Each structure stands twice: as structure tokens, then as C-alpha cells.
Amino acid sequence: MYEHLHLSELQHKIAAFEDQQAYKELFLRLQPKLVQFAKTICLQKEAAEEVVSDVFVRVWQKRKTLDHIQNLKLYLYIATRNVSLNYLRVDRKHQTLQMDDLQVEIAAFNASPAQLMMTAELQQQIAWAVEELPTQCKIIFKLVKEDGLKQKEVAELLHLQPKTVENQLAIAVRKIGVALRQFAPARTKTVKKPA
């Protein structure tokens, strides 16, 4: 039943009942994405996993006051960012993300081409378009698309202006759109107008 619960409901259950099942569900739901994010900073998978498990230990340690956190998801991403930076032994005073140091990998799209009415060639085209994006643009795209963060949340997480995030995401979307363009005519009759 927990897989259907909203994140805030899991948060309540952990805070009010020290509910280990809810805590496990939180872990199952967010750990892979947080590891991906940590890896963009730490660069190594093992280090990223270590960082994220530290973050989750801290969540359990603070379980009774978990209800005070307004946005648990963003909190976990920020904690992951901070622990990752600590891991790199970056001087606390200058603890900011250097975009150029990030290594962003975009996960493959999951559905089979047949399901999407998309050829393998087209998928490849999209993957290239994403790969070609500047780092800042790419991490913003990743956090919004894969992690489901809001643009404002991404701005807070990456210490960027909300306007910057909006513009960068628009660039990412445009480049992917252009990559799709050359394939569009063949698909004209099968695709519905967007609502």
C-alpha cells in the first residue's frame, strides 16, 4: 500500500510512528536518483552510494522532527549536495557547486521504440542532442525530467537564479525539439495535437 502514498504521507508516518516500512519506501523511491545526483559531483558510483546512505542515516536519526521539514524531497537533494561536497573535501567557505566540474549522465529512455512509435535511430538522435547540451543545461534538464524537481527547486539546489533555470531548460527543450524535427514529417499522421 505504501507505493501509492504521497511523499508527505511517508514523511508523516516516519515522524509519527517511526514507521520503518515508510522509511524503506522513501529509500526505494529516492535512493537511485539521489545516487545519480551525488555521482555528478563525486564522479564515482561507490562514493555516491556512500554519500546517499549517510544522508539516509541522518534522516532516520532526525525522524522525530522530520515533520518540520517543509519540502522533504528538496531537503534530501540539498543534503546530498552538501555531503557530496564534503566528500570532495571542498573548503566549507567555498562550498559551492562548480558547474564545469560536474559530470552529468542522462539515463536512457525506458520504453521500447515500438511503444513510442520511435525508431532506434530517433532515440539515438535525441540521446545525442541531450549529450551535446552544455553541462549546466544538462543537469537542469536531468533534475527536472528524471528527478521530477520543480524549476524553483532546481534553482535553489544549484544556487542559480530561477530565471536562469527557466531559460536553460527552454534551451534543452528546444534542442531536443529540433532533433525531433527532421523525423517529424514521417509521423505526421500518427501523432495527435497536444492538448
Considering the complex, state which of residue 6 and residue 93 has its C-beta at the smaller distance from another protein: 6
Within residues 130-169, the interface with another protein by CB under 8 A covers 144-146, 150-152, 166-167, 169
CA separation for the pair 156, 160 (Å, rounded): 7
Contacts of 121 (CB under 8 A, 6+ apart): 183
Q: Is there a contact between 23 and 63 (Cβ–Cβ < 8 Å)?
A: yes
Contact region with another protein (CB under 8 A), list: 74-82, 85-93, 109-117, 131-139: 109-117
116 part of the interface to another protein, by CB under 8 A: yes
Cα 38 to chain center, whole Å? 10
79 part of the interface to another protein, by CB under 8 A: no
Q: Which amino acid is at 153?
A: E
Instruction: Return the DSSP state at 96.
Output: -
Cell of 180: 525531433
86 part of the interface to another protein, by CB under 8 A: no
Q: For another protein, which residue of 67, 90, 135, 164 counts as binding (CB under 8 A)?
A: 67
Please name which of 50, 33, 54 lies closest in space to residue 42, comparing C-alpha atoms.
Answer: 50
What residues make contact with another protein under the rule CB under 8 A? 1, 6, 8-9, 12-13, 15-21, 24, 27-28, 31-33, 36, 53, 56-57, 60-61, 64-65, 67-68, 106-111, 116-118, 126, 144-146, 150-152, 166-167, 169-174, 176-177, 180-181, 183-185, 187-188, 191-194
